[in-house]
């Protein structure tokens, strides 16, 4: 008969909770960001829907890969889990830390959206200025 490790069940429970929670949180943030990001992309790409939506989808794919990669890379629990309290504290630290990281990534993406929009507006203003310039002899 194999010896039973008391903490082994707590680790399994922790991983069975952690994985679905980070998947759902990542999906929710990504869904919100890129659903609303389409508007910025259309503005940046001057209404060219095909390239705007394709670029938005590529950013979304990268967002998923980066954030889920981080979630799985940091999944390991280093604390000894021997009680429900230790389990809850470890999970709250892991999931809370991931939420902070995900929030930072959200703001980074928003920064890029606004930066792209600003560059598009400047480019349109410059083109309008050139178009409206009167050529003098």
Q: What is the pLDDT along the chain (137 residues), one digit of tens a residue?
A: 555 555 679 999 999 999 999 999 999 999 998 998 888 888 888 889 999 999 999 999 999 999 999 999 999 998 899 999 999 999 999 999 999 999 999 899 888 888 888 888 888 788 778 877 654 44
3-class DSSP state of 120: helix
- Helix spans in the chain (H): 8-44, 49-73, 84-132
**Which residues are CB-contacts of 29 (< 8 A; sequence separation ≥ 6)?**
67, 102, 106
Q: What CA–CA distance (Å, rounded) separates 5 from 135?
A: 85
Q: What CA–CA distance (Å, rounded) separates 126 from 20?
A: 48
Its pTM surpasses 0.85: no
Q: Is residue 33 within 8 Å of 64, Cβ to Cβ?
A: no
Q: Domain spans of the chain?
A: 6-135
């Amino acid at each position: 008969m194999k010896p039973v490790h008391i903490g082994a069940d707590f680790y399994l429970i922790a991983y069975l909770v952690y994985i679905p929670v980070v998947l759902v949180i990542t999906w929710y943030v990504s869904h919100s960001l890129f659903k609303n990001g389409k508007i910025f992309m259309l503005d940046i790409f001057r209404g060219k829907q095909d390239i705007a939506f394709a670029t938005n989808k590529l950013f979304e794919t990268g967002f998923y890969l980066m954030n889920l990669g981080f979630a799985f890379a940091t999944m390991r629990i280093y604390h000894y889990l021997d009680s429900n309290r230790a389990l809850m504290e470890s999970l709250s630290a892991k999931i809370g830390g991931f939420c902070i990281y995900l929030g930072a990534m959200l703001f980074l993406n928003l920064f890029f959206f606004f930066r792209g929009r600003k560059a598009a507006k400047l480019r349109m203003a410059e083109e309008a200025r050139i178009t409206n310039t009167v050529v003098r002899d």
